Amino acid sequence: MALAAPALAQDAPAATAPAAPAAAPGAATPMTPEQIAAFNKAVTDFTAGQTAQQSGDNAGASAKYDAALPAIRTAVQSDPAKIDNVNFLANALYANAAAYGAQGQMDKVIALYGEALPHWRKIVEAKPTDMASRNILAGILIQMGNQKLGAQDKAGSAPLYTEALALARKSVAEKGTDPINRNILLSALIGASQSSGDAALQAEAVNMSKTMLADGSVDASNKPAAQALTGAKAG
């Protein structure tokens, strides 16, 4: 399965940059005034990156995100339990991956996804009812699974798809008519069936592909694989 550019990036809610962290008692490692100033500059750079990205200037966006990330990483390292900063870092990494993906630099996308993955897991664990974050995590896992599967690393891709599948099933169970939820589940099923060779998963992927091709809800990234699974003609 070919690695696609991050498909869910445009569906993700815009990240809200938190206020600069104060060097308060009880923080794991209070930030220095210089680090707080750098964090404030990172908020400005991140906002500029989002503006550039929304206008289609992905190169400009990635430059701004790259500039913002070191100070955001420092804030998270200083207090890993502060979920607002973890969320900010996760969103900045994800947005940067989308910007690099739009430029065709998939090696950078995968590197950013690898860094973002534990942060998104932490967010989903902290906010189990947040479907948008759950779907982003599932999408990242699928993209990383696709990259490994494309390199013939079935053993490496399988656990990524399995984790994504559980997340996608939860979203579909909560809102089964949502086309985003269904396409994430279809992507996970296709990947999981290819990596594991599980006949039940393959049958489920085929049946879901037929249904979604018939009702027109399959998205552009899933359509070629869905057509190949079902023997449907492209068109």
Q: What share of the chain in percent tops pLDDT 90?
A: 83
| Token pair in block for residue 92 | 């900045």
Query: How many residues are listed for the chain in this entry?
Result: 235
C-alpha to C-alpha distance for 76 and 221, rounded to whole angstroms = 34
Q: How confident is the model at residue 13 (pLDDT cuts 50, 70, 90)?
A: very low
Is 57 within 8 Å of 100 (Cβ atoms)? no
**Over the stretch 77-118, which tens digit does the pLDDT of each residue have?**
999 999 999 999 999 999 999 999 999 999 999 999 999 999
User: Does 6 have pLDDT greater than 70?
Assistant: no
**Over the stretch 168-186, which tens digit does the pLDDT of each residue have?**
999 999 999 999 999 999 9
